[in-house]
Structure 1
Amino acid sequence: MTLEFAPFIPWIAIIILAVLATLLAALGLLRGLRGTLLRFTASLAVLAALANPELLREEREPLTTIVPVIVDRSQSQQIAGRPAQTEEALAALRERLARFPNLEPRIVEVTDSGHSEAPSTKLFEALQTATADVPPARVGGAIFLTDGQVHDLPPDTQPLPFQAPIHALITGKAGEFDRRIEILRAPRFGIVDEEQELTFRVFDDGQASSQPADVAVKMNGEELGTVSALPGAETSYAFKVPRGGNNVLEFSVAGTPGEVTDINNRAIHLIEGIRQNLRVLLVSGEPHAGERAWRNLLKSDASVDLVHFTILRPPEKQDGTPINELSLIAFPTRELFVEKINDFDLIIFDRYQHRGVLPILYYDYIAEYVRNGGALLIAAGPEHASQDSIALTPLESVLPAAPTGEVHQAGFYPRLSEQGKRHPVTRGLSGSTSEPPHWGRWFRSIDVSDAAGETVMTADEGRPLLVLNRAEQGRVAMLLSDQGWLWARGFEGGGPHVSLYRRIAHWLMKEPELEEEALRARAQGRTLEVTRQTIGDAPGPATITTPSGETITLDLSEIQPGLYRGERRMTETGLFTVANGDFSTLVHVGAVDAPEFRAMVSTTETLAPISAESRGLTTRLDDGDETIRMPDILPVRGEVRVADDRRMLIRLTDETVLKGVNTLPLFAGFAGLGILLLTVSAMWWREGR
């Protein structure tokens, strides 16, 4: 209760009147006038009434003490046993906090909701958010329910946001251990078929091990071998990038009995393969209009080293000109087809015929080159149907079709076959969807029989025009017309010769994007996109195995002929396995080096220093006997000065909220009137005597 004034007139006027009353009272006392004190008392009563004194009484209600409870729901908390511990401990916390009506728990669950590509456990960030709208004096303490793997610990120089204990209840079990593998240093790019080096390390968290661990290595799903690695020591691994584009290098360390999880027993590294200086040998049998189309295409690619020979003077051409007067370069057949044949990524025979330039044995070398993984393209002209056709040499063993000897001379629109509409080499070529196709005509095709492989383009009457085939480890393509240059010249509007020629060359050189049967997966943020390429029937749904072992079925929809795709947003991060039929692939969602997977052994060491500094308690919920041991809660008044090793102390707040104010005027109503009448009556009585 407090005394306050609400004067009816300004204070300066009251002060002046008080001074005058005091001077008159002093003068009366000096002159000995009777009744001076009564008059002065009556003046003071009038002045007090003018000052209007009031008694104020505030009605206040005590505020509750806020207790943030931060529940860790990160992926490291999903290990077997920890979710059940968390739920049991959270239920016990709710029940014990409910016993104290002046405690208000604020339960905040920290989950990796999918917005972060590099998941980590940020409990202190959640604590700051939970107490941002609360005065620090109202926070009585905080309780963390976690496995101890926290990645946003405040630095030592940063004070805590409130002066109250911070307690940590640790899930998991004492003495846990876990084996994991991390890639420390690795190149992001690598030149195809050149040796690269990567460094990784195997960790044994929670136990010391001197025994080497076996690490299995895979490249794009294919076994490369096993490496022996000593836990704790850096291990180097040398490898070669097998292909251009994206390559997935996977390391899988053998688990140990009793480890908390095998989620982090695998690590992957993504390396982009770069083809450097692709070597292409282009042999033109004779000068012709279509020769420049191939040359211009290959020369326009900066990554291609083109070696081009045109046979201008075949051996049968004898005109008596002395050899020393010829300015032509001799065709280095032995150097190209014996000594350096394996240096070429692609060999193109453009309207080439067997005319004695190449010894017959060299065709066998070329066939062997293809079977061992080389690439061969036959761009056929009329000579392919003649008796000098290279199809009548040992090269026949790798060619997908044999000529019948007929050459069709008539205008036709090249069309995609049913397989061609689904094959990545020809699918979606500009102008192919209309009938007739929206491109120019060709006027010559070479007839073949019994075409093997895939016939992706046809001439008139459905005759094969473009045939693709595999020959053991290598690939062969046959373009059964020399009229593609008409598209390059823009005849009747031209056609997509650049796209067609480039795709043929890239398919021959085994670019992954042009594989007929392929399963690819990529992550865009947390969205996993699965693409299935096939020239067969619908492949059905894909099966996704998450890092935690959960299996998800993903339906694939056909977006183009032979191309199926599906996507789904993932709640987990880590290494996913995607399978469809006989195909499987790996994809990493989120950052490869996410902190959440670096260590998954529960620990008290992370939060113990912070708890000790704030007089809090850090304790395990399970001491090894499979039961939850929940410490008691003890609210205390005033500052917490000492820690309790058995109970969680909560500092009760002294904060209150104002609910109302009651006022009592002292000179209002009958009370004030009575005092004035009393003083005036006393003064009259005294004057009457």
Structure 2
Amino acid sequence: MMYKLGSILLSPVIPVWLIILCAILFAGLAWRTYAFCSLKYSERWILWSLRMLAFGILAFLLLQPSRRETRSELEKPVLAVLLDLSASMQDNPYAEKMTRADKALAFLKKSEVRKHLEAFRVLYFTAGSSLQEGLDLTTTPKFSEPSSLLAPAINQVAERLRAEPQAGILLLSDGLDQSNAWLEGRAQQIPVLIPELENPVLEERPLQQDFSIENIHYPRRAILQWEVKVEVTIRRRHGSTAQTFPVELLQNGSMLRKSEAVFRENENFRKVEFSFTAETLGNHLYQLSILPLQDADAGNNHREFVIDVTDARKRILYLEGTPRWEFKYLKRSLLAEKNQELNAFLQSGTGAFLNFSDTEHQEALSLPEFSPESLRDYSVVILGDLKADALKEKDYRVLTAFVEKGGALLFLAGTRTCSPDGVLSSPHFKELAPVFSLPGAQMREGRFSVDFTAAGRSQNAFSDLLSEVRLPPLLSFWGPVEASSFASVFLAAADGSAVLVGRRYGQGRTAVLLSDSLWRWQLGSEAGGGGKSLYGRFLTQLLQWLAPGLQSQNEEDSIQLLLPSREADLRAKISIGALCGKRVSGSGLACRILCPDASNLALPMLPAELGIEAGLPSPEAGFRCEFVPEQEGTYRLQVISKDGLASEEALLVVKKPALEFTGEAINRQWLQRLAKDTGGAMLPWLEAGKLLEKLPVKPRSVEIVREYS
């Protein structure tokens, strides 16, 4: 219980009545003690008073007194200034003396505006693709955000200032909101004040027609002698008449294909497709150009991109234990690949393997003996639904060495493969197995949705499959399992259960596909990517990850150059990684960069740990350097060893960031609706200095309490 005596507060540890009772008893007993002593009366009073003084100090401490001071202060209301930093703020479609960005900054510097701002506690925010708090007005902000998400930004400001006395929001924007959202309940209660950053045009002047390359869809990787498809989307602004113009596709500066873009009346988008055959290995630079006759901006009529062509000629050895559907469709899909040679064998009831390769080569009619010499001719070995005793102990040792030296091993799940006596559970494969079955593991049946994990999406080999809106469901998968410490889950069910797991082992790779119903992706799936079904494309990309090709990073005398992407934005930091084979010394490793203006850079490659950001499934020791491109165009990168005997090259296309230049006037209708719905105001530029006068200043009285104990 607390007692208040003026500005003094008492918070006794024990009840006050008990302290008073103790004082009376103590006083009586103390006087009684001295009453029977041979002391003078004055001496008795002195001694008794000292004892009572000691008790009084103790009682004072038990009362825990404190002093409280209370005073009132007036707190200024909060005014949030929200500045739009999207690139469209630099647009000037009507060629005024000041852009929208210039007017926004000039508004904050007006003397009458600064005077009115003194009555508020001003908090600055910036909006674009996200909301940021704080703004340094001593430097010129960069209006370079690729989008304008204004309504969500206003909602976030209202939420952040929930506990503050909000007077209003000062919005400096062109109103070209791209969020398709609107204000939530709380944000609608805060007045929004808007100065008009673009003068209305009395007589609307027609804007000049402009064609631009909106988007390009192309494979990051292509297979030698395969058909490659490139699809370009062309956009037209401020035009409506029918028009036809040429579209050109160049490869390394030479004409490759030519087509036409045919725009009908009032048509704003047109797609143009090119197809060609990848005939040479390596990184190839492609230039796409549109050549309209009437165009306002020729700077957006050209785009460059890089496609990495690899040799997918692989010999694949496939051993299957049972004649199941997976064997039928996987064999059919692999045999359809003209750049792959399949030797498929099915185990009979006696344990012998019968050839099902559909090949004319005599050497493929019988199962090759597992030896380093025989497996040297293969890139990938696939083990189907096999028991552990299907292979001899020597076979396990040879297969392990095969992977260690750069080979690829793929396990296909089945009731035999993953069982305790299956080939995946064999103790001989304990070191290289991507997963281990947990107690109670079985083939689960049902309908399971699947998708790529973050690790799967980071792999360039699967990039062509990421465009799928939704992967078909699976009807089964083996679980539960535990991935090994060096493995990554690339494909998972909705509950996080692993479906596709891969890992590095030595210089090679292993993977396990934990479903025996993936073959159903072949049924009823639409063809794509060169006429192949989703099932065929998935297998191709999986094998591409397992065995990257002739220019494999697993070669002992080679260097692998790693880039997060073959395209980059101007002035963005680029990280270049490299992995060296065992015979290549990392000492003195350097990266040479040939810039678009023919100048050269030489950067040392320093030891570093490379991971997912470099396209690797797990951290690995390598080398890295960084640089910031200052020019647009194509850069040629070369990582070279100190002795010059090993090197690797790549092309990097650097372009301006995709900015939000629309050429459109400010969205007055959106801004006026915003001001109306919030009870705010929108004034023309010439009257903008009076805008803050419409906002009432209502300071909040705040009571400040201080206590001294």
Q: TM-score range by the shorter chain?
A: 0.3 to 0.5
Q: Higher RCO, 1 or 2 (CA under 8 Å, sep at least 6)?
A: 1
Give the number of the structure whose alpha-carbon radius of gyration is greater: 1
What TM-score results when the alignment is normalised by the length of structure 1?
0.40
What TM-score results when the alignment is normalised by the length of structure 2?
0.39
